[in-house]
A = this chain, B = another copy of it.
Amino acid sequence: MYANDKMLSGLDRARVVGLIDEHRKDWSLQQAFYLDPDIFALERELWFPRQWVIVAHSSEVPEKGSYVIRQLFDEEIIVARHGDGEGDIAAYYNVCTHRGSRLCVKDGRGKLLVCPYHAWSFRLTGELQTDIEPAAAGLTDLLRENGVANARIVARKNYLTKANWKLVLENFLECYHCRPAHPEYFRVNGHVKVTAMRDDYNASEWKQEIDAWHSVIGDAEFHKGVWEPGDLDTMPYAMHRKPIGSGRLTLSDDGQPVSCLMGGRGKFDGGENGFRIGRLSFLSAPNDYLTMFQMIPRNANETDVILTWLVDKDADASVDADKISWMWDVTTIQDKKITEDNADGIASRAYRPGPYTPLESQTAFFIETYLAQMRTLITGERRDGDEAWAAPSQLYASPQAAGKAQKNGQATS
């Protein structure tokens, strides 16, 4: 909506810079960052347009001429396949250049996009405002190995969360809450021994589990994690590998496969690849299915949290979508609740920023990065040093998290 889109005055911008400068490192944000529509307007003007996000899966525009309409930061985007090549996909704003009407009102297929108002027509290759940028090439191979391009969608669900988008990410980036809040997730995932608790005995158990897994899958697979911090011009992304644990083959209730292997893999190895693509999109990849996460800010108080589940495009038609979506459906329903309770409490006049514990270091890292980028985008000043861009001391469930310290900027070795 426009209210979020209007330009803030210089005075208002200076106020936000003042709030950024008052921030206490490794403490949660001041209230205004979670609630103030003016700050959301600034994020929408400056920060969101710099973010790389997943808007759709290529299987959603299967043929030349196919197009779909997707919501993104209060905007409608048309994603269209205009040719037969793998990369012949473009994204446009769904706005006619004549008098601004919506061009497409539903997904479709055709040679032209015809405006329903005065019948102005546009080719799929352009003439409209485009807003797509190529993502990092370094990520493509990793996605391919997990069969992402050869997948088909089996389920999608929007867990609209009445909370500022940063609260959604702060929650998603730490597992400290997994023990009180996620009984199913806590039972299934071995990494919670170090990500949800601080206990030497547990850490040593997890270390043994990782070592055992390493000996099974070998060095080449074990060292595949990447950490690309990105900056305002390049896309940040990360991938880590870990065993699910306890002999489980995939992220299902009983640990047994729920679909066929993906990405040309020869057998189940009990691992999960976890991706962060940009700062707002994620991908969870056990051996036989994918969960794609899109966190899309709607306004200062609401965030769309859209999960999409995919299996190999040649998987049996009878795969059980409920079994496939079980782990992240039950977990995201719980996250929606605790994040909304968090938002509710933060709106109180009693709210004060609180300290992140070491188990919340990725959350703290995200907050520092966000603030440093916002400051640069508002003032134009790029700070000396790049501490803000360094990796957090504890990466989410990375092998290194199992007890030993992490060097800055070296998430994997």
Contacts and interface: CB of A to CB of B under 8 A. Distances in A.
Nearest to A363: B99
Nearest to A27: B99
Interface in A156-184: 170, 176-177, 179-181
Given A170-B99, A180-B116, A2 B35 contact: yes
Interface string A105-117: 1000000001011
B102 A344 contact: yes
Given A180-B119, A348-B75, A348-B76, A100 B354 contact: yes
B93 A348 contact: yes
Interface residues on A, range: 35 or more
A1 interface: yes
B117 A180 contact: yes
Nearest to A96: B345
Contact of A354 (B98, B345, B354): B98
A405 interface: no
22 contacts: A2-B35, A3-B37, A5-B347, A6-B32, A28-B99, A75-B350, A76-B348, A93-B350, A95-B346, A95-B348, A96-B345, A96-B354, A97-B352, A99-B342, A99-B356, A100-B352, A100-B354, A101-B338, A101-B342, A116-B341, A117-B181, A118-B176
Minimum-distance CB pairs A-B, first 8: A93-B350, A2-B35, A119-B180, A102-B341, A100-B346, A101-B342, A102-B345, A95-B345
